[in-house]
Amino acid sequence: MSQGDMKQPLLRSPRRPQGSLSDPGTDAPLVGILGTGDFSRSLAQRLLASGYRVVVGSRCPKRSSGLFPEEADVTTQQEAASQADLVFVGMFVEHYSTLSGLKEILAGKILVDVSNGMRINHDEPSNAEQLAALFPDSVVVKGFNVISAWTLQTGPRDGSRQVQLCGDNAVAKNSVAQLCRDMGFIPVDLGRLSSARDIENSPLRLFPTWTTPVLCALSLFLFFYLFNFLHDVLHPYITSGRNVFYKLPIDTVNVTLPAVAMVMLALVYLPGLLAAFLQLWRGTKYRRFPEWLDRWLQARKQMGLLAFLCAALHAVYSLCLPMRRSARYKMLDAAFRQVKEGRAVSWVEEEVWRMELYVSAGILALGLLSLLAVASLPSVGNSLNWREFTFIQSRLGYTALLMSTLHTLLFGWDRAFQPSQYHFYLPPTFMLALTLPCAVLLCRLALALPCVARRLARIRRGWERQRCIRFQLPEEERNGVEDISNVHVLNL
């Protein structure tokens, strides 16, 4: 029997061929497992808890029987392969050849390949394709390789719930998908068996969607740290001989972190603005964005979380500033000098108000960033509808960027106009940090103009500049209320 000849589900109970997949008891479906490793033991435990009967094939049944639950039948590989119609191959790919003697027994049965490679595979056949080549009369389905043994033991509540599947036979994939559902997981069909290479590579990649955002954050941190070193540490040492290198571990880092957070937060919303302006310039939404812009749009979540991390670390560092020995020394020295000179302790009304305002704005910005970070969690985001999610990520996100900009402006106050702040002819750090956020806010304000917003809304509803189309926005949107439920486009 070839893979394309299968017409009926193969997962069944020997006593009741047409029984339910999840009926418990003696009539429960029988699932086979070839292999006795950690994953096979966890898989057997999870299958038994889900109402299945399990038979395990081992080269040494007596030695392996004590590793599995009592309900599992540990026997030889030939006996396990002959009893079950759906068999999990829980072995390393280099051991597949040891199963060559089971070709006739496994003919016409579903083989679920759960293996992973040791390195990322670029052009070689996948493990599942190698298994299919060794057993041409069996039906191979790739799956469960992205689920860890720990997740199988604890259940889907403590790990990823998605199980990626692929295979050339739809009936076999449906049988494995039903088994996934009975175990509490969510099957995700990724197409034919040729997709197995991507599924096998996915567990080997280390944060693939985080590489560019992390490199961007590290580059910004290095740039602003070196800039602050030149501006605040090296300049006083060269010009007046003051040794302030003690600022490097805390002071310089604390000035660098908010600059990185602001720029990263601005980078979250900049690609959306660029996409909007590109649609306005093209006069249509039916053209793909450049690849670099598409990748940038997909990395916005990671950039936002990194911005929140930098802002949170900045808050922690700021709380620790008064605890430093150098800070206490400066306070005591200043008080001693004032008493010695017979002057009262100074109270500068302007400085007091400045600090109260910029600290308050910073707290509000951090609170909004915390809300954005929490809403990015899948468990929270899935509970929100599209309008709620858009309101949080867009409206509140721009509000967070505005409050962060206001926090920095209040911190700088009038120091941008003081020549003494320009060390080595370099501007203060807060001026550099404000450049991109202010540009983003101004661009967003430009898109909010009624004439621009109306044109952009028409384009996103299907209007094209180079076609003869009569277009009328819904009444709600003409009155300033967003309504994406109705589209009125008439082609002439």
The CATH number linked to 342 is: 1.20.120
Whole-structure pTM value: 0.76
CB contact at 8 A, 171 and 142 = no
Q: What are the tens digits of pLDDT across the range 222-232?
A: 999 999 999 99
On whether both 235 and 146 belong to a single domain, the answer is no
Task: Note whether residue 468 is domain-resident.
Answer: no
On whether both 414 and 333 belong to a single domain, the answer is yes
pLDDT, averaged across the chain? 86
Report the range of poorest mean pLDDT among 18-32, 86-100, 309-323, 430-444: 18-32
pLDDT for 151 equals 78
Q: Quote the CA–CA distance of 211 and 299 in Å, as a whole number.
A: 9
Q: What are the tens digits of pLDDT across the range 61-71?
A: 988 888 899 99
Q: Quote the CA–CA distance of 223 and 257 in Å, as a whole number.
A: 11
Beta strands 139-142 and 162-167 are: antiparallel
CB contact at 8 A, 455 and 480 = no
* Among candidate residues 204, 225, 251, the one where a domain is terminated: 204
On whether both 195 and 221 belong to a single domain, the answer is no
Burial 156-191 (b: 16+ CB within 10 A, else e): beebebebbbbbbbebbbbbbbbbbebbebebbbbe
Residue 15 region by backbone torsions, left for phi larger than 0, else alpha for psi between -120 and 50, else beta: alpha
19 pLDDT tier (thresholds 50, 70, 90): very low
Q: What is the mean pLDDT of residues 46-53?
A: 93
On whether both 374 and 428 belong to a single domain, the answer is yes
The angle formed by the CA atoms of residues 192, 197 and 202, to the nearest 5 degrees, is 115
On whether both 175 and 55 belong to a single domain, the answer is yes
Task: Note whether residue 490 is domain-resident.
Answer: no
Residue 21 region by backbone torsions, left for phi larger than 0, else alpha for psi between -120 and 50, else beta: alpha
Taking CA atoms, 144 is separated from 8, 139, 460, in Å, by 23, 16, 40
Q: Give the containing element (helix H, strand E) for 237.
A: helix 235-240
280 pLDDT tier (thresholds 50, 70, 90): very high
Q: What are the tens digits of pLDDT across the range 453-483?
A: 999 999 988 888 877 555 565 665 555 444 3
pLDDT for 378 equals 78
Q: Is the pLDDT of residue 180 over 60?
A: yes
Cβ of 216: how many Cβ atoms within 10 Å?
A: 19
Q: Give the containing element (helix H, strand E) for 88.
A: strand 86-89
The angle formed by the CA atoms of residues 290, 295 and 301, to the nearest 5 degrees, is 140
3-state class of 232 per DSSP? helix
Rg (CA), the chain: 32
CATH number for the domain spanning 57: value is: 3.40.50.720
On whether both 114 and 223 belong to a single domain, the answer is no
pLDDT for 201 equals 92
Q: Is the pLDDT of residue 254 over 80?
A: yes
On whether both 145 and 294 belong to a single domain, the answer is no
Q: Is the pLDDT of residue 251 over 80?
A: yes
Q: Is the pLDDT of residue 343 over 90?
A: no
Task: Note whether residue 351 is domain-resident.
Answer: yes
Task: Note whether residue 69 is domain-resident.
Answer: yes
pLDDT for 377 equals 86
pLDDT for 470 equals 56
- Greater confidence (151 vs 184) lies with 184
490 pLDDT tier (thresholds 50, 70, 90): very low
Q: What is the mean pLDDT of residues 371-399?
A: 89
On whether both 125 and 165 belong to a single domain, the answer is yes
Q: Is the pLDDT of residue 8 over 70?
A: no
Task: Note whether residue 85 is domain-resident.
Answer: yes
pLDDT for 492 equals 24
Q: Quote the CA–CA distance of 135 and 113 in Å, as a whole number.
A: 12
On whether both 157 and 221 belong to a single domain, the answer is no
pLDDT for 15 equals 36
On whether both 162 and 222 belong to a single domain, the answer is no
CB contact at 8 A, 87 and 112 = yes
Percent of the chain whose pLDDT exceeds 90: 64
Of these ranges, 273-287, 336-350, 378-392, the one predicted with the greatest mean pLDDT is: 273-287
**How many residues does the structure list for the chain?**
492
pLDDT for 324 equals 74
Of these ranges, 149-153, 324-328, 485-489, the one predicted with the greatest mean pLDDT is: 149-153
489 pLDDT tier (thresholds 50, 70, 90): very low
Task: Note whether residue 403 is domain-resident.
Answer: yes
* Among candidate residues 204, 234, 258, the one where a domain is terminated: 204
On whether both 182 and 331 belong to a single domain, the answer is no
Estimate the share of the chain in helix, then strand, then coil, as percent rounded to the nearest 5. 60, 10, 30
Provide the domain limits for residue 247: 210-461
Percent of the chain whose pLDDT exceeds 70: 85
Q: What is the mean pLDDT of residues 362-385?
A: 90
Task: Note whether residue 18 is domain-resident.
Answer: no
pLDDT for 468 equals 56
Q: What is the mean pLDDT of residues 365-394?
A: 90
On whether both 267 and 359 belong to a single domain, the answer is yes
pLDDT for 342 equals 66
Task: Note whether residue 489 is domain-resident.
Answer: no
Q: Is the pLDDT of residue 383 over 90?
A: no
* Among candidate residues 184, 204, 224, the one where a domain is terminated: 204
What total of structural domains would you count in the chain?
A: 2
